[in-house]
Amino acid sequence: MRDFLRELVAVAVAALVYYLVRGAVSDRAEEAFQRGRDILDLEQRLRLDWETAIQEAILGSNALIDFANGTYFWGHMPLLIVLAVWLWRSHRTIWRTFRNALLVSAAVGMVCYFLFPTAPPRLMPELGYIDTLALRAAPAYQAQEVGLFVNPYAALPSLHVGWALLAGLAVWQTSRHPLMRAFAVAIPLSQSWAVVATANHWTLDAFAGIAVCAIAWLIVALSHRLSFRTPIQFDRG
C-alpha cells in the first residue's frame, strides 16, 4: 500500500505540474489562430482535412454527439486512472513502461504547447466547426474547463489521442485474448475519431500525438530493456 501511495503521489504531482504549465501559456491567441489556419491549409493540400466530414456525420444525431462527447471525456483521464490502478496491481512491469511513457510524452507536450500554441477547430466557428461539448455537455464534462488548468491553444500534439495509444499498447501487452486485443485497438481509434468529431483537435494534431507517444513508448521500452541486461564481465588479467 505504501508503494502504491508513493506512486500515486509522484504521478499526481507530475500531472499537476503538467496542467499548470499547460494552462499558463494561453495568452498568445493571434499566433495560435494563425497556426490553426496554417494546419488547415496543410491538411487541405494533403487531403487530410477530414474535420468537416466527420462532424457532419454526427451533427444530425444527438446520440452520436453524446457518444463522441463521452468518448472524448471518459476515454481520457477517467480511463487512464482506472487503467493505471489496474496495471499497478496486476501488471507492474507494463505499469512502469506506461507511467514513464506518459511522463516523457507530457514533457514533450509541454514544450510543444509553449513553442507552438495552436487553436483547435472548435474555436473557429466561422469556418463551420461546432464545439459539441458546449452544444450538449453533461455537467461532468465541464471539469475539463477549470480555468487554471486549461490552455485553449494546446491542440498540437493531441495527447488525448497519444495517451489513448499508450493505454492501448498497455492493454495489448496484458493479454493475448482477442477481446482484450480488440479493446486495445479500439481505445486509440475511438479517441482519434472523437477528438475530431468534437472539434477539439485537427486531424494532424491526432497524428502528431500518435507520433510523440509512440516514440516515447519505444524510448522507455528500450531503456528498460537495456537496464535489465546482464553487465559484461571482464576477466582480471
Model pLDDT for residues 90-121, shown as the tens digit of each residue:
999 999 999 999 999 999 998 999 899 999 99
**Residue matched to cell numbers 476515454:** 75
The distance from CA 160 to its chain's CA centroid, rounded to whole angstroms, is 2
Query: Which parts of the chain sit beneath pLDDT 50?
Result: 230, 232-237
pLDDT at 229: 58
pLDDT at 234: 41
**Residue matched to cell numbers 507530457:** 106
Contact in structure between 75 and 191 (CB atoms under 8 Å): yes
pLDDT digits (tens, 9 = 90+) for 126-152: 999 999 998 886 655 555 555 555 678
C-alpha distance across the termini of the chain, in Å:
48
pLDDT at 232: 47
d(CA 23, CA 9): 21
Per DSSP, the residues of 92-127 read: HHHHHHHHHHHHHHHHHHHHHHHHS-B--GGG-GGG
pLDDT at 236: 46
pLDDT at 150: 67
Q: What are the backbone dihedrals phi and psi of residue 154, each rounded to the nearest 5 degrees, phi first?
A: -100, 60
Residue 98 C-beta-side C-alpha neighbours within 13 Å: 28
Question: In this structure, what is the dihedral angle of CA atoms 115, 119, 120, 122, given to the nearest 10 degrees?
Answer: 160
**Residue matched to cell numbers 500525438:** 209
The distance from CA 12 to its chain's CA centroid, rounded to whole angstroms, is 17
**Which three cell numbers, joined as nine digits, stand for 58?**
454526427
**Residue matched to cell numbers 512502469:** 96
Contact in structure between 26 and 19 (CB atoms under 8 Å): no
Q: What is the pTM of this model?
A: 0.88
For residue 13, what are the contacts with CB-CB under 8 A and spacing of at least 6? none
